[in-house]
Chains A and B, each alone.
Chain A
Amino acid sequence: MKITDDSPPVLTALDRPNSYIGRSVPRPNLARLTQGRGQYVSDVTLPRMAHVAFVRSPHAHARIVRIEKAAAEKAPGVIAVVTGAELAQVMTPWVGVLTHLKGLKSAPQAPIAVERACWQGEAVCAVVARTRAQAEDACELVEVNYEELPAVVDPETALDPQTPVIQPTLGDNLCFERKLDVGKVDEALASSDAVVETTFLFGRHTGVTTEPRACVADWNPGEQKLTVYHGTQAPHMMQNLFAKHLGLAEHQVRVITKDVGGSFGIKVHTYADEMATVALSKLLKRPVKFVADRIESFVTDIHARDHRVKAKIGVKNDGAITAFEIDDLTGIGPYSVYPRTSGIEANQVVNLVGGPYTCPNYRAQARVVFTNKNVMCQYRAVGHPLAVAVTEGLVELAAAKIGMDPLEIRRRNLFPDDGYPAQSASGLKFEKLSHHESLAHLDSMMNYAGLRAEQKKLREQGIYRGIGFASFIEVTNPSAAFYGVGGARITSQDGATVKLDAQGALIVATGVTEQGQGAESVVAQCVASSFGVPIERVRVITGDTDVTPYGGGTWASRAAGIGGEAAWQAGKALRANVLAVAGAMLQAKPEALDIRNGKVVDAVSGAERLPLEELARVAYFRPDTLPSGIQAELVATRHYVPRAWPFAFTNGVQASYLEVDVETGFVKLLKHWCVEDCGTIINPQLVDEQIRGGIVQGIGAALFEHCLYDESGQLTNGNMADYLVPMAAEMPDIECGHVVSPTADSELGAKGAGEAGTAGAPACVMNAINDALRPLGAAPLTDIPFTPAKILRALGRI
């Protein structure tokens, strides 16, 4: 039996008599999902609803000469056939730039391509019909005459003078560039006992959410109101963007997000086809539904990670790391994605390389260039998997070169646990991390010495097992430093409104959104604890811009740390309001009372004084019996935004144990471990499952996932048969451990945990493969994903 019951609470400063902080309470909304009673956007049907399908460019780069739509317009069920030029009358184009990423540039992007299609899969015409099948049928009848243009597909040559410029108004194909030079890198490298230099390649991959992107837009001219049912992570951000580009006020737009079938950063961006769907609803004055099919998802969901990083590390024979140097190049497609931009991932790589280590000498260059492939943007753990793979790959290669154990070299270079606050060479500020304690915990949890002995013994039998590690830091709880300062209307604060209902239960509306990670559960736990009711008496409402406080939604591991704190504070505020009423009713001082398990009690003795049902009855139905001057305020709202630190960094370390079949090149994952420190743990089970899910997403990147483009810019494996994702049979069991260093920025002290798994797993698997193959003299593998063919080539077998 592997299922354990809810763990008993450990008393901390956060503990109240019925605290749920630190307990693995099951999520309250799960039965709906296990019974197939969820309400995903794909499931939404409205009266008069029409369906849209898009004609998409088969070319990576082409001029749209002529669109002949007469035949399609006559097809059964067709309501409208709309071109980019026609839709431009309804919706304005957008430009994906942020002012704090200096020099970042991009061209205006339209919901449907107007003159040119700039990647294979860009929509060039919309067909709206009574059913999706009829819309797709009619798409076949739209004749588009293209003049094919040269496609820019290789980032390495994108900046060459002879390479065509994709967006002529920009002058060149450079989207963004950043340089950093800290300390004395050249001197440090020259004085090193060993220098390792290599090139890391990261294959493009994508999110493959199980539910594809979906939206239903409903413009009601009678109310002059647009309602959008949208599978998004950030409803308020989308409210702003829909309003802005349709020329509406934000209060005319309502975004409703019910169940979302996976997001992982895929569903936090502006997609041209979703913007087109909204514009079509405005144009046609009726609901229009768009659900991407899987083939469309592969060519339009943002891709990520397509980076080439030339990297160098210097070390002394005693293991001291002297310097890091990187040169990152990434190709992001023809547009910087709106509104978060496509410069963030490269920027994060520059910020994060070397992050766990005290080494003061660091030089970095990053260039972000335009290409004629699908757009790239932020996907789970943005930049982290790349930076961690580069850093940790270099550290283990350096350790091997000087003959030092990979854990020992880390011990000699990680920021000391008693040395905070601290700052990385790139300028990241750390409030409190626990690299050494985490490493020690991992060492014992995995029985490192025992595994090394087993590895050695099995090698003698011709069985090649490897052990790889990755220390990491993770950006969580972002302040306005992430997007707000760059001019994007993406809020970093979040709010919660708590209402006492007429039977003494609580309804909480929160600005963070549920994507399956358990945000609703965390919010309920925080409110139940700080207010004082059994969690069964808390219902949480998320994902409705008409109902919830203005909030940022879910991204960058912010929902628990920021949304949880707002909920905690709102519960406290309502408790104070309720106790004021209770004091009046009981002729007691409010501070002599408390609320525990849904009852007003004497704070000292715990004796019951008044059930909340009775208080609510009096406050709502017999307020005439309350003393004059007492007005019950049974709704409270609180907001929270981190102020002391731009980001709440977390840290951790992962390990992978695997076996490489040197005959076939196949990798069998035997076990994976992760110790991480996300501060106060509100719900241990949810944290562990975020870690596990994240690790498997990172393993997918390491071993399987790759969007393969040919030289003409065609995606050649855009379906689930050819693009491999991790399935149950190939994945290992994953053991999680924790160290707890709360942030003092909030009362809860919680940091995020959503991306740590994805951040560290690829580096870990890479290091383990190289550890396995080292005795065979194989050249180190640094080209992600590590397919059997690449492994056999490294072994010289093919």
Chain B
Amino acid sequence: MSVNVNRYKCGYCGACVGVCPVGALELVETWIEVDNTCTSCGVCAKICPVGALVVIK
């Protein structure tokens, strides 16, 4: 379970990191890292200002 980050869309703002309930995301300068604690809950994808995140079930 994870999320896909479209790096060509992502504005590296970190909003997704702030809403992740398990702290699976990290903003490193210009990209988002997803670790293996991601539960595919999809909150990050819902609030992404540009729609760069897609949940993988």
* Co-complex (A, B): no
Binding site for B on A (CB under 8 A): none
Residues of B within 8 A of A (CB): none
